[in-house]
Amino acid sequence: RPLSPFSVQSSIFVTKKGVATRSLAMLPLRRPRMRTSSRFHLFRLVIGTMKKRVLICDDAKIMRLLMRNLLQKTEIFEVCGEATNGEECVEMYRTLKPDLLTLDLTMPKKDGVQAAQEILAFDANANIVVCTSAAQKFKMKQLSDLGVSNFVIKPFQPDNFLSVVSKACGIT
C-alpha cells in the first residue's frame, strides 16, 4: 500500500440511542516539533562524540591537575594521558596519538625541545601547545624554528589557556 501524506484516524462514537457509529478522518501528517531543549540535547550528543584527545606533559603535578580540570570542564576535550618527563611524553604520544599535546619545556630526563623534535619527526602534523615560563625565550625560539606556534606563558589565565588550546585544535 503506498504511503500517503495523510493519516487515517478512526473514531467510534456512541449516540444517545446507544447506536455505535464509526467516523473516518483524513488528517495531514505533521512532524512533531522538537523543543529547543531537545534540539540542544541532540546537538550536545553529536558534539560529545567528537571530543579532542589531549596528552598533558608537565613535571609539576599541580600544573597537570590544573590543565586537566580546565580541559574537562569544557566538554570539548578529553585528557587521554599525563606524562611527567620528556621520555614518557614521547612514548605516550606514539602509543596514544592524541589530537593535542600540552608540553612543558623544563622537564627531567628529556626537555621539551628534545621531546618536541622527536614527536615532530614521528608526526609532522602534531598539534603542540607549549606551556612555559617567560624566562625560556631561547627554547621558545628553537621551537618556533621547528614549527611550533602555540605558546602559553605560566602562570596563565584559564581563559587564555583555553583559547590557545582551542585555536591549536582548530576550534574557534
Per residue in 48-58, pLDDT (tens digit) is 457 899 999 99
pLDDT for the residue numbered 153: 87
pLDDT for the residue numbered 61: 93
Which residue type, as a one-letter code, is found at position 169?
C
Average predicted confidence (pLDDT) for the chain: 78
pLDDT for the residue numbered 28: 52
pLDDT for the residue numbered 44: 45
Quick one: pLDDT band at residue 12, thresholds 50, 70, 90? low
Q: Which residues pair with 6 in a beta bridge?
A: 28
Number of Cβ within a 10 Å radius of residue 78 = 15
- Mean local confidence (pLDDT), 132-156: 80
For the purposes of burial, counting CB atoms within 10 Å of the CB of 107, is it exposed (0-12), middle (13-18) or buried (19 or more)? buried
Quick one: pLDDT band at residue 101, thresholds 50, 70, 90? very high
- pLDDT at residue 87 above 70? yes
pLDDT for the residue numbered 143: 79
Distance CA 127, CA 69 (A): 20
- pLDDT at residue 66 above 70? yes
pLDDT for the residue numbered 97: 93
Tell me the pLDDT tens digit for each residue of 22-56.
Answer: 555 555 555 555 554 444 444 444 444 578 999 99
Distance CA 167, CA 100 (A): 11
The answer to pTM > 0.75 is no
Number of Cβ within a 10 Å radius of residue 44 = 10
pLDDT, greater one: 123 or 6:
123
Peptide bond into 155 cis (omega under 30): yes
